[in-house]
Structure formats: C-alpha cells, structure tokens
Amino acid sequence: MVPLSLSQTGDTVVVRAIQGTGHLAIILGQLGMIIGIKLTVVEKGKESVIVRIGESRYALGAGAASMVLVEFQV
C-alpha cells in the first residue's frame, strides 16, 4: 500500500485504508471514498490530487491524499 499522493495521472487504484480518524475520515466517507472503492486519478498536481469515483470528481489536498492508502490496479 502507498499513499494516494504518490499516484500519477491516469492511475486506477483501490482504497485499502484511511490513516487517522476524525473529521477527515468522516468527510472522505461522505464523499464515497471508503475502503475497497476503486477510483481513477484524473489529475495530479504538486498540491492536489483530483480523483474520479463513478461519475463524480473530487479534489484532495496533498495532506489528505497522503492519508489515503491505496493499491494500484494492473
């Protein structure tokens, strides 16, 4: 598992864990970013990661993206 922040544009990953508890975990869960969900990295910048879950797109800051642990899909 690696942090989502290490992914690149076009990668398809599966969320395997969310580090930490509290507000961030709740917000990510409300967005649908839960353990086992597949998402696609739409754009990777220095300070943010834009991901697609289904038909929705979400932007995560670098700090939040580093707390989401993912596994790359081949």
Question: What is the arithmetic mean of pLDDT over 22-50?
Answer: 92
Question: What is the arithmetic mean of pLDDT over 17-43?
Answer: 90
- The answer to whether domain 2-72 has CATH 1.20.1090.10 is no
CA angle 22, 26, 29 (to 5 degrees): 145
Residue 29's pLDDT is: 87
Q: How far apart are CA 30 and CA 1, in angstroms?
A: 23
Give the global pTM: 0.89
Are 5 and 49 in contact by the 8 Å Cβ rule? The answer is yes
Residue 27 CB burial class (10 angstroms; 0-12, 13-18, ≥19): exposed
Residue 23's pLDDT is: 87
So where are the chain's domains? 2-72
Residue 22's pLDDT is: 82
Is residue 19 predicted with pLDDT exceeding 80?
yes
The per-residue pLDDT for range 5-15, each reduced to its tens digit, is: 999 999 999 99
